[in-house]
A and B are shown apart, each in its own frame.
Chain A
Amino acid sequence: MKAVSSLADLCVKCNICTAACPVAVVSDEFLGPKAVGPQAERFRHPQWAATDPSVTLCSGCGVCSRVCPHGVPVAELNIQAKAQLASQRGVPLRDRLVARPAMLGALAQPLAPLANAALRARPARALAHVFLGLSRSAPMPQFSARTFRSLQPARRSESPKPVEGRPQLAYFHGCSVNYYEPALGRLTLRVLDRLGYDVWLPPQGCCGLPLQSNGQFAAARRYARTNVRTLAPFAAAGVPILGTSTSCTLALKHDYRAILGLETEQADLLAGAVYDIFEFLRDADPSPLEATTFHPVPLHLLYHAPCQLNAHGIGQPAYDVLRRIPGLSLTLSESECCGVAGTYGLKRERYSLAYAVGGRLFDQVSQVQPDLVVTDSETCRWWVEGHTGVRACHPIEILALALGLQDENGLLGKKAAA
């Protein structure tokens, strides 16, 4: 942690981060990443919270850290400053709830129809808006009746089980696939099966990122330590650990060490073994896809790279892979961030700002009128679909189409949540 704070002095105040910040440009309340990050850091006391709370307007999208040419971890400074504020002011119940998708999932999943009805019901959302501070306008996902893990008993394993001649992978599915989108997880397994891999589901909890973003570092660290331990047998055996959720994989790669301070060899080993699924298919083992002939997919897609994916520093691997599919017409999003930034946009007092951040992307969707929006992160998909009415899907769904594993009707037939 000390390390992050001392890096603030690398800042030369060039304002490149301010020019790129998607929040500062729509809010004249937010001072911008340079001002609330490295500049304010010089006046922060290790024990006392800063008096200026404007850092809480930071959505944590991480664009500032990525564009900084001097290596200042601006977003990391902001997350720590927010956590310090939260530890002194207390964490509201709402932030404790939205930060625990695994707990919510475990509680709500047995009662999925009831929980989903409540999430859809206007009176319930109005109550949650007023009493909990959960924006009534923020699109919410629907709980699945079965968890992903319960549907895949044979794949669960505490360690890799090598089979001669079959490369092995571990899948970090995250809370969203487990509780909300098990179909995406199943499709991912089918794609990887088809490409010749044996895929295991190691024991895993929430990645801890929602807790970290909501200033609850101690609870986030508990998840982090558990995941480092349960994923270690796979990392140690050289089995790549793939994720379809870009924010979970970023937490495993980066946040555990740089923000939560888990500076262990195991954490380093894990970080090196984790891949975004398209990063893996593009860079680490490109041969299966290169040997594949894709079916044409005659669709017009708008691809949006989530802010959390861009923070991986690997470019836009899904876009690079989708570009090889014949028939696809691809438009690239012009936006750095869709606005929701995990749980930021769900909060009553942040919703309108998050919506304004997304405005540019929503405008582009309505101008381009794509058949589908494609984006790697689940919170982006729910947010963009809810606000544009255009169905948003994970790029693996498009790859599955090109591999002939599902047909277009199955994909397009799904109704948008809006």
Chain B
Amino acid sequence: MNDLVVVGAGLAGLLAANFAARRGASVTLVAQGRGGLALSHGCLGLGSVAHNPGAFPERHPYRLAGFDKVHPAVAGFQQLSQAAGLEFLGDPETPLQLPTASGAVLSVHFAPRSLAQGSLSASEKICIAGIEGFRDFDSGLVVRGLRRRGYRVDATGLSFPSGRPGRDLYSTDIASALDQDWQSREIARLWAPRLNKVDRVGIPAVLGLAHSVDILTSLQSELGLKLFEIPTLPPSLPGLRLERALRRAALAAGCRVLEGPMATGRLDGTSGGVRALGLSTWTPAGPRVVDAGAVVLATGGALNGGWRATRSGRIHESVFDFPISAPEDREAWIGERLIGPHPYDRFGLTVNSRMQPCGSDGQPFFANVFACGGLLGGADRRTEGSREGIDLVTAYAAVEAALS
């Protein structure tokens, strides 16, 4: 019997599994496929929670989890990432301003060193370099965007000693070539002439998956300057590094990972529906049973499959079929602009202060089912810049409640 089963392998699910396993619980992580970290920048944005908690509306996940959870959750993340061999820089009070691949500015509170070194300053001139043959990153686009925002930036191009590839390069191709043999001397010889008058250079995030820390260090010392990475189109290496580190940490802490099957909730008919028994996992052989003392849902929001909408305007959570309230008129779900904000951004489960999903009467559906991350409603994560912060704080709170 598992003490805890976590559903979902995005940031919230991986954090929940790690937090629970580090508390000594027997944990199984069940996920239909891999979560979206490979599509993400791999940083941690908290929103304005440190300065202005009052700005968060009623029923906001931060408010429900409790603002007092922010600091222990952040400390838990720092311990975990350090143990997993990642070095995150930053603090919860002051966000870093980092350049993105589209020339916009990303505001996050913690970033891996290789990204944090790109923190923008108004006075210093920096250089953005693309890599020949790697078409998922356009240094010109970055430079135009940053100049429009008033930063002093130049662009250059670098080559990569890979010979003539048989197809367009993926970020993971360059990362893997560097991982296997990072030839920093050879690359430095190739790059140095293009970088002779700059102190800080931004390149696409391709500096290895397994050995990114060593690759950054040795390239910097060969080139005698500071390098920083800018997250690329997927696969995004900073996100992949975080995912890989969290998955390995979970396995090392004794967590079981069932990757592949979709899961649905199993109910206990004999106890009046007070507790969930666990899950059915829909394996290639058919449904198989996973028992659980408690279940933590970390299945994500609309784009991640955590909830689904029907044509008739009903929205339900995917694992236990919990109802999610929304206006009947589907037109009212969508905002005017393509990129948002959209009213549906705020749709999701409502939980009580113990992170238990609740019905409209405020009563929890089950005593042993908890929820965290993107599945929770009440937040406009994009506008707030709070996506990863909500994942972290609610995962921390859900595990604490589930194991207490």
Please list the residues of chain A having a beta carbon within 8 angstroms of any beta carbon in chain B. Answer: 14-16, 18-20, 24-32, 65-71, 250, 253-254, 258, 268, 271-272, 274, 283, 310-316, 320, 323, 332
Q: Which of B279-322 contact A (CB under 8 A)?
A: 281-286, 288-289, 304-305
In-complex Cβ contact of B38 among A14, A274, A323 (8 A): A14
Q: Which of A14, A15, A26, A250 has the most CB of B within 10 A?
A: A15
Q: Which residues of A contact B165 (CB under 8 A)?
A: 28
How far is A408 from B256 in the complex, measured between Cα atoms in Å?
28
Q: Which of B176, B256, B259, B283 contacts A26 (CB 8 A)?
A: B176
One digit per residue, 1 when the CB lies within 8 angstroms of any chain A CB and 0 when it does not, for chain B 305-349 equals: 100000000000000000000000000000000000000000000
- Chain B, interface size category, equals 35 or more
Known pairs A25-B173, A283-B288, A332-B251; A313 contacts B260 (CB<8 A): yes
User: Closest residue to A273 on the B side, CB-wise?
Assistant: B285
Q: Closest CB of chain B to A321's CB: distance in Å?
A: 12
Query: Once the chains are docked, how many angstroms separate the CA of A117 from the CA of B135?
Result: 52
A14 to chain B, nearest CB (A): 6
Q: Which of B33, B35, B170, B173 has the most CB of A within 10 A?
A: B33
**Nearest chain A CB to B12 CB, angstrom units:** 14
**Which of A25, A69, A332 makes the CB contact (< 8 A) with B34?**
A69
The 5 closest A-B pairs by CB, nearest first: A69-B33, A254-B284, A19-B235, A313-B260, A253-B285
Is B286's CB under 8 angstroms from A15's CB? no
Q: For B257, B260, B285, which residue has the most chain A Cβ atoms within 10 angstroms?
A: B285
| Interface presence of B169 (CB below 8 A) | yes
What's the minimum C-beta distance from A394 to chain B, rounded to whole angstroms?
A: 21
**In whole angstroms, what is the CA distance A258 to B284 when docked?**
9
Residues of B close to A66: CB separation below 8 A: 33, 259-260
Closest Cβ–Cβ distance, residue B131 to chain A (whole Å): 14
A-B contact pairs, 29 of them (CB 8 A): A14-B36, A14-B38, A15-B38, A15-B234, A16-B33, A16-B38, A16-B234, A18-B170, A19-B235, A19-B240, A24-B170, A24-B172, A25-B173, A27-B166, A28-B165, A28-B167, A69-B31, A69-B36, A70-B305, A71-B32, A254-B284, A271-B285, A283-B288, A310-B260, A313-B281, A313-B283, A313-B284, A314-B288, A315-B256
- How close is A251's CB to chain B, nearest CB, in angstroms? 10
CA distance in complex: A250, B305 (Å): 27
Q: Is B39 an interface residue (CB 8 A)?
A: yes
Q: Say whether A311 contacts B172, CB under 8 Å.
A: no
* Given A250-B284, A274-B285: A19 in contact with B36 (beta carbons within 8 A): no
- A28 near B166 with CB under 8 A, answer yes
**A32 and B176 in contact, given A66-B259, A314-B288 (Cβ under 8 angstroms):** no
Smallest Cβ distance from A157 to chain B, in angstroms? 23
| 6 further interface pairs, Cβ-Cβ under 8 Å (given A19-B38, A250-B284) | A18-B235, A28-B167, A30-B167, A312-B284, A312-B285, A332-B251
Main SS at interface, chain B: mixed
Partner of A16, one of B39, B169, B257, B260: B39
Q: Are B259 and A310 in contact (CB under 8 A)?
A: yes
Residues of B contacting A67 in the complex (Cβ-Cβ under 8 angstroms)? 33-34, 259
In the complex, which residues 247-267 of chain B have their Cβ closer than 8 Å to any Cβ of chain A?
251, 254, 256-262
On chain A, the residues within 8 Å of B235 by CB distance are: 15-16, 18-19
Tell me if B258 and A313 are in contact (CB < 8 A): yes
Contacts of A65 in B (CB 8 A): 260
Name the B residues within 8 Å of A310 (CB-CB). Answer: 259-260
| Max chain A C-beta neighbours (<10 A), residue from B32, B234, B256, B284 | B284
> Complex: how many Å from CA A312 to CA B170?
29
- Could you say which residues of chain B place their CB within 8 Å of the CB of A250? 284
Are B169 and A315 interface neighbours, CB within 8 A? no
Kindly state the separation between the CA atoms of A295 and B89 in the bound complex, as whole angstroms: 47
What 1/0 flags go to B21-34 for Cβ under 8 Å of A? 00000001001111
Quick one: which of A25, A310, A332 has the most chain B CB within 10 A? Answer: A25
B34 and A16 within 8 A (CB): yes
- Alpha-carbon separation in the docked complex, A30 to B261 (Å): 27
Query: Once the chains are docked, how many angstroms separate the CA of A29 from the CA of B165?
Result: 8
Instruction: Specify which chain A residues have a CB less than 8 angstroms from the CB of B169 in the assembled complex.
Output: 28
Smallest CB separation, A75 vs chain B (Å)? 11
In the complex the two chains form, what is the Cα distance from A32 to B169 in whole Å?
A: 11
Q: Complex Cα distance A253/B286, Å? A: 8
Asked whether, in the complex, the Cβ of B283 is within 8 Å of the Cβ of A25, the reply is no
Residues of B within 8 A of A31 (CB): 167
A254 x B32 contact (CB < 8 A): no
Which residues of B sit under 8 angstroms from A271, Cβ to Cβ? 284-286
B258→A315 contact, CB < 8 A: yes
Contact partner of B285 (CB less than 8 A), chosen from A26, A32, A272, is A272
CA distance A314 to B304 in the complex (A): 22
**CB of A188, distance to nearest CB on chain B (Å):** 20
| A314 contact from B38, B39, B167, B283, Cβ within 8 A | B283
Instruction: List B residues 165-194 near A (Cβ within 8 Å).
Output: 165-167, 169-170, 172-173, 176
B254 contacts across to A, CB distance below 8 A: 323
Are A283 and B286 also in contact (CB < 8 A) when A28-B173, A320-B256 are?
no
Residues of A within 8 Å of B166, CB to CB, are 27-29
Which residues from A are CB-within-8-Å of B258?
313-315
Chain B residue numbers with a CB within 8 Å of A320 are: 256
A15 to B281, CA, bound (A): 24
Given A15-B38, A19-B235, A313-B281: A268 touches B304 (CB 8 Å cut-off): no
Nearest CB on A from B172, distance (A): 5
Closest B residue to A13 by CB, please name it: B234
Q: Pick from A71, A258, A311, A313 the residue with the most CB of B within 10 Å.
A: A313
- Report the Cα distance A31→B170, complex, angstroms: 10
Residues of A within 8 A of B288 (CB): 283, 314
Q: A311 with B304: in contact, given A14-B39, A69-B33 (CB under 8 Å)?
A: no
CB pair B172 A313 closer than 8 Å: no
Instruction: Return the chain B residue nearest A258 by Cβ.
Output: B284
Nearest neighbor of A363 in chain B, beta-carbon distance:
B180
Chain B, 20-67, CB within 8 A of any chain A CB: 28, 31-36, 38-39
The minimal Cβ–Cβ distance linking B163 to chain A, given in whole angstroms, is: 9
Cα A310 to Cα B284 with chains together (Å): 11
Query: In the bound complex, how far is the Cα of B261 from the Cα of A272, in angstroms?
Result: 15
> Looking at the complex, which one of B35, B251, B261 makes contact with A313 (CB distance below 8 Å)?
B261
Question: Bound state CA distance, A69 and B170, in angstroms?
Answer: 20
